[in-house]
Amino acid sequence: MKSRFALLPLFLVSAATVGFEIALTRYFAVAKWSEYGYWVISIVLAGFAFSGVVMALARDWFARHGRTLLIWLPTALIITAAIGNQMVASNPFNPLQLQNPATFNDQLWNIGGYYAVLLPFFFLTGLYISLSFVLNDRIIGHVYGWDLTGAGLGALAVLGLMTIVHPFDLAAWLLPVLALAGLLGGLGNGTHGRAGLLAALLALGGTEAWLALDRPAAFNDFKAIYAPLHVPESKTLAQIPSPRGLFMLLNDFTERVDTDLTNNAGELGIPGPAPSLGLYRDGNRIAALPKPPVGDAPAIDASYAPATLAALPYSLRPLSRVLLIGTSGGYRIAEARKLGAVVIHAVEPDAMLYRAVTEGLGGTPHYPAQRNLRISPISPVLAAERQSYYFDIIDIAGDFLDSAETNTNALTSAAMVTYLRGLSVGGMLSIPVSIREFPAYALRVMATARTALRTFGIKDPRDHVLVYRSAWNVRILVAPGGFSKARIAQAKAFCDQRSFDLSYFPGMDPGEKREVFNDLPAVSFQDGQVTSQDGAHDAIADEAIYVLGGQTSPSAEAFNLSPITADRPAFYALLRLGQLGIILKRLEILPQAEIAPLVNLAVLAQAIVIALLVLAIPLLGGKRLRLPGGGTARAVLFFSALGLGFLFFEIYLIERASAYLSDRTAGFALVLTSMLIFSGLGSMASSRLEARADHAMRLAGLLVLVWGGLMWLWLPSAMHYTLGWSYTARAIAVVLAVAPGSLALGLPFPLGLSRTVSARGGAGFLPWAWGLNGAFSVVSTPLANLIALTEGFSWVLLSALLVYAVAIVSFPRQPRP
Amino acid sequence: MSLHSLSRRSLIATGLATASLPLFSITGRAAGVNVGAGWTRQAFLDAMAQSGRPLDLSESAFQAIQARRPAALKRIESYLKERLGSADPAVMQAFAEVPREYYHYMYEGHQAMPSVAYEAEPKPWALGYGSALSDYLGQAYMTQVAKPKPGDVTLEIGTGSGFQSSLLSRIVAKSYSIEIIEPLGKAVGKIFAPLGYDNVQSRVGDGYYGWPEVEGGFDIIIITCAAQYAPPELFKQLKPGGRALIPIGQPFKRGQFLYVYTKDADGKIHSRKDVGVFFIPMTGTMMKTPAPTATP
């Protein structure tokens, strides 16, 4: 190529590709459900892997026609991107039907449809990138650098675009980037170049018109937002696109605060909650927001509060100082006040919800400033730790867990220990758990509470827990000071009046017959059987005593009830994947939130098949794809290990950053762009190190291992101690933590490629190396997710270190002269 | 217009179709057409046209649907016996009478799909507008758990296809139904009259407050769209001894967990989680290990 800026089209193609990938994952999150975005990523990487295969088999042909192909490929990319975007949006895929064996098969065809319409674009992109390597095999470091930095800046640009553009319209903004790549690629290339340039412009015009006129993307009609959008007189009061999600504020008659109200409210003469507005993120409801008040009436009338499941702690501990974790759009503050709280500190870590409560959103009233009320956007753990006084009640909102992905970190055993330390004498922690679909979630939270109590120094946790419930929800009260007989009697009266059940209290005789208002039968997930007996049953009561006593309960056979920890914070991770046969038999009763691991498994299986196919290439390619002196095996191991390791690091860092910032989007954005940009810079520097590649590789490998080792040892503590820093300071800290290792991570791939290219016959190996790297990247994402879900994120980091150690020792040898 | 214009051929055809049905003895059956007594292709097409959902269907296609019905009814009967110990004759009779093919319609797209009715592998069918026609086994189960009796008055929040209301209407005195999605509710509201189901009343609107105009309340309330709680107003409208049912779970599973609510003499609500769609009853103790003792 004539100048280094001749790689600018590659930069633009990489930017647009990552942008399109992100746009697709956003489409899935909004129109369908976000766990299916993993499939998109796997299709992307599969396309790259297949392009490497094709390039490897026909390298010479591509090399001869490479200049021409680079001129015309951007046009093909524009067309395939547009087709992919429109066909994806038109695909009637309904993931809910995957859970029914009778409707499963139709959906497999729809999934096949996604592959059919998306693989062309990503295959052609992979072809473009690998062709850039082939045609510039003397400056591989620069090629890889432009590729990575393009990808990083493309990701950043799309995330910025999300602040103004609806997720369904993102693709339209990316097509001009591809056209620009075509424009730059055509300049100075004579007639062919001009023709290619014109084709790109025509393709751009035609596809933009198509995307503007035909807009098939829509919410799946079984998402929570669908019905509220389609009831009579429904109005959308605000629509706010953001990288954190597409937020919509609706005014329709279905909206009310989501609270667990006693079914006896009518008998008690307590009115239900008044109508409200509904706040949705990506089509999922995250909060009710109050309507503007009429006259002097308060914005929120919480008269219903005494009828809620959450009310018990307030009657056990009146006139309390309360830490509210989650504000439920402001309703929890009003409820706590109604229930007698005198001092309230409410934390709302989610930026949009915090804004809604403190400033208002789309015309909703902000929560009025009051004496003895503080609302802050900090993490709940920080609030409990840094408050200048002890709390009498720490109360987690019922909708807190599901209102933001990172909120699961508020339920870890370490978090609970912090809460317990923040409680006054006689104070208690109140934890909600939904048992509508799987009562086992409550058992897992009890196991977590038990671990927290033991860590706190309590010898017998059974004396310090009280569990009560409605038909659909459990509240677990944890009190370092225990529960007196008077409190237990009060709890019984509270429950009796409201048709709630006291499932566990200290001193409970499990054999004693008690009236159960909400019959919850004991079922066997393994056998598919339910115990039938006379009278109502309480399956939670059956097992609480086992769990709180640290013994194995019957449910532990079917479900992973290990405590929720900072290392394994996933809440919806009950399934024991080793019992896959039973899980598939019971597929139809699984809560939708438990489907993600199965999607990962399916993607992993597909990824392994792709990787095996790519590995098998030498059988087809013959000697063209062999390196002399047995170098092939080393090179295969090297490039495969790199493909695995980079994403292991990335996924580990994204999770840590998301928890640190209490913001999944920011965590993802900062880590992804930093890793890509800094590893791109590292790649560019690699060209200066080719002469001393072995030394550079050892140094890079050492840096990566040291960096990873430091994270293993100190990152969780460092995060904890700096949790009180401002958001900006923490974001900078994330970038500073990611940068050094990423610089080092950028070196091995181009150094290895340069080393193989310089070997006799190595030029033919280059595309295969690219394909291998892509193929094992496909494997690494679902594999890392599964390791994290089953074993914890520290195992993902360990796996990354192990894999990079393999890469270091398998670095291709210097070819003999 | 009479729906009972019979030809010798159609009499024979429907006779053959219903020959294998068990005989059910029901008193006080509600008025309206029912399969087995004049349900011909023409009657079907006329009813579809009157409900604003015209379609073309050949005689052979119609007969093919009717030919599948007996097997489907046998499946329902076996299913109910396996899961609940017996098949309620009233429920079986209702399924025998209500022509399920009439309800297979994609409202978003205006497409009739009668030919898929009584499928050998029962499954839910999307109807558009976020609604689904549940599989007939799950519907039979829920209907029997509701224990409908002649003289009952029922309320359904979430009309959907209208099939549930239609089933209940064959047994009870009056069936009310509210649909919150306007285009669906308006369209489905037109399907009952052509069948002569004059004891079904539906409307579009907010189901949160139930149907307070109905004096005396309801014996059965089915709520298909609930948040974290069932609206207190609905329990107020539940008669003593009545049952409220809330199915939980996304609609494409093979059945759903049912929460069954009853009101005791003191007015307190009791609930029962019915898992029978997914779990087989097992008698005897479940706990194989002795329960640990509580702390003293």
Tens-digit pLDDT profile for residues A436-448: 888 999 999 999 9
Please list the residues that pair with A278 across neighbouring strands: A250, A288
The nearest CA of chain B is from the CA of A392 a distance in Å of 25
Q: Does A232 touch chain B (CB under 8 A)?
A: yes
Distance CA A791, CA B4 (A): 68
pLDDT the model gives residue B283: 55
Please report residues of B whose CB lies closer than 8 A to that of A270: 232
H or E segment to which residue A445 belongs: helix A440-456
pLDDT the model gives residue A46: 85
- Taking 50 as the threshold, does the pLDDT of residue A349 lie above it? yes
* Closest to A355 in 3D by CA, of A334, A375, A384: A375
- Taking 60 as the threshold, does the pLDDT of residue A422 lie above it? yes
Name the residue with tokens 């640009």.
Answer: A157
Which of A120-129, A527-536, A610-619 shows the lowest mean pLDDT across its residues? A527-536
pLDDT, averaged across chain A: 91
For the beta carbon of residue A786, count every other beta carbon within 10 angstroms.
18
Distance CA A189, CA A668 (A): 39
Nearest chain A Cα to B208, which residue?
A254
Percent of chain B with pLDDT over 70: 81
Q: Does A263 touch chain B (CB under 8 A)?
A: yes
pLDDT average, residue stretch A565-593 = 89
Under a CB-based contact definition with an 8 Å cutoff, are residues A422 and A321 in contact? no
Please report residues of A whose CB lies closer than 8 A to that of B135: 102
Which tens digits make up the pLDDT trace of A482-491?
A: 999 999 999 9
Question: Hey, which residues 126-165 in chain B have their CB within 8 Å of chain A?
Answer: 126, 128-130, 135
Distance CA B156, CA B158 (A): 6
> Confidence class of residue A335 from pLDDT cuts 50, 70 and 90?
very high
Percent of chain A with pLDDT over 90: 69
Nearest chain B Cα to A515, which residue?
B270
The nearest CA of chain A is from the CA of B226 a distance in Å of 9
H or E segment to which residue A27 belongs: helix A8-31
At A240, list the tokens.
């706010």
> Confidence class of residue A623 from pLDDT cuts 50, 70 and 90?
low
**Cα A503 → chain centroid:** 34
Report CA-CA distances (Å) from A471 to A498, B269, B271: 11, 11, 7
Helical ranges in A139-252 per DSSP H:
140-161, 170-186, 190-213, 226-230
Burial A700-727 (b: 16+ CB within 10 A, else e): bbebbbebbeebeeebbebbbeebeeee
pLDDT the model gives residue B9: 32
**Cα A732 → chain centroid:** 21
Q: Does A546 touch chain B (CB under 8 A)?
A: yes
- Show the CA angle centred on residue A229, arms to residues A227 and A233, nearest 5°: 110
Under a CB-based contact definition with an 8 Å cutoff, are residues A354 and A325 in contact? no
Nearest chain B Cα to A96, which residue?
B252
Phi-psi group of B130: left, alpha or beta (phi > 0 → left; psi -120 to 50 → alpha; rest → beta): left
pLDDT average, residue stretch A5-9 = 88
- Taking 90 as the threshold, does the pLDDT of residue A531 lie above it? no
Please report residues of B whose CB lies closer than 8 A to that of A265: 232, 235
Cβ within 8 Å, pair B182-A271: no
Give the β-pairing of A473-478 and A465-469. Answer: antiparallel
Provide the 8-state DSSP code for A308. Answer: B
- Show the CA angle centred on residue A576, arms to residues A523 and A102, nearest 5°: 65
Cβ within 8 Å, pair A102-B292: no
Sheet containing strand A277-281, edge to edge, reads A235-242, A245-251, A277-281, A284-289
The sign of the dihedral angle between the CA atoms of A508, A510, A515, A520 is positive
Looking at per-residue pLDDT, the higher value among A355 and B254 belongs to A355
Name the residue with tokens 């015009």.
Answer: A205
Question: Hey, which residues 58-87 in chain B have their CB within 8 Å of chain A?
Answer: none
* Closest to B207 in 3D by CA, of B153, B155, B134, B131: B155
Give the β-pairing of A529-532 and A523-524. Answer: antiparallel
Please report residues of B whose CB lies closer than 8 A to that of A527: 282
What are all long-range contacts of B113-116, with beta carbons under 8 Å and residues at least 24 apart?
Answer: B114/B44, B114/B55, B114/B57, B114/B61, B114/B62, B114/B65, B115/B57, B115/B61, B115/B64, B115/B65
Amino acid identity of residue B247, one-letter, is P
Helical ranges in B37-158 per DSSP H:
41-50, 59-84, 89-97, 136-146
pLDDT average, residue stretch A248-276 = 91
* Closest to A536 in 3D by CA, of A582, A566, A501, A577: A501
Looking at per-residue pLDDT, the higher value among A222 and A486 belongs to A486
pLDDT the model gives residue A763: 73
Report CA-CA distances (Å) from A655 to A219, A734, A788: 28, 12, 10
pLDDT the model gives residue A69: 93
A32, A221, A515, A553: best to mutate for the B interface, most B CBs within 10 A: A221
Looking at per-residue pLDDT, the higher value among A52 and A620 belongs to A52
Q: Annotated catalytic residue: which of B134, B165, B169, B177?
A: B134
**Cα A602 → chain centroid:** 18
| pTM for this predicted structure | 0.91
Phi-psi group of B109: left, alpha or beta (phi > 0 → left; psi -120 to 50 → alpha; rest → beta): left
3 state DSSP class of A343: strand
The nearest CA of chain B is from the CA of A224 a distance in Å of 9
pLDDT average, residue stretch A41-55 = 85
Give the β-pairing of A423-434 and B111-112. Answer: unpaired
* Closest to B144 in 3D by CA, of B118, B121, B167: B167
Question: Hey, which residues 94-123 in chain A have their CB within 8 Å of chain B?
Answer: 94, 96-97, 99-103
Distance CA A768, CA A641 (A): 14
B169 is annotated as an active-site residue: no
The sign of the dihedral angle between the CA atoms of A251, A257, A263, A268 is negative
3 state DSSP class of A471: coil
Orientation angle between helical segments A59-90 and A8-31, nearest 10 degrees? 30
At B2, list the tokens.
């009479």
> Confidence class of residue A158 from pLDDT cuts 50, 70 and 90?
very high
Question: Hey, which residues 234-253 in chain A have their CB within 8 Å of chain B?
Answer: 253
Burial A358-378 (b: 16+ CB within 10 A, else e): bebbbebbbbeeeeebebebb
Provide the 8-state DSSP code for B179. Answer: E
Which segments in chain B show pLDDT lower than 70? Answer: 1-31, 33-34, 36-37, 225-228, 282-296
pLDDT the model gives residue A631: 79
- Taking 60 as the threshold, does the pLDDT of residue A148 lie above it? yes
A103, A462, A525: best to mutate for the B interface, most B CBs within 10 A: A103
> In the Cβ-directed half-sphere of B206, how many Cα atoms lie within 13 Å?
13
> Confidence class of residue A267 from pLDDT cuts 50, 70 and 90?
confident
Please list the residues that pair with A391 across neighbouring strands: A423
Please report residues of A whose CB lies closer than 8 A to that of B183: 230
Residues near B78 by beta carbon (within 8 Å), at least 6 away in sequence: none
Orientation angle between helical segments A413-421 and A440-456, nearest 10 degrees? 50
H or E segment to which residue A353 belongs: helix A351-358
Name the residue with tokens 């790199």.
Answer: A642
At B136, list the tokens.
């007939």
3 state DSSP class of A398: coil
Report CA-CA distances (Å) from A299 to A360, A521, A613, B268: 12, 41, 62, 31
ipTM of the complex: 0.89
Supply the Cα-derived Rg of chain B in whole angstroms. 20
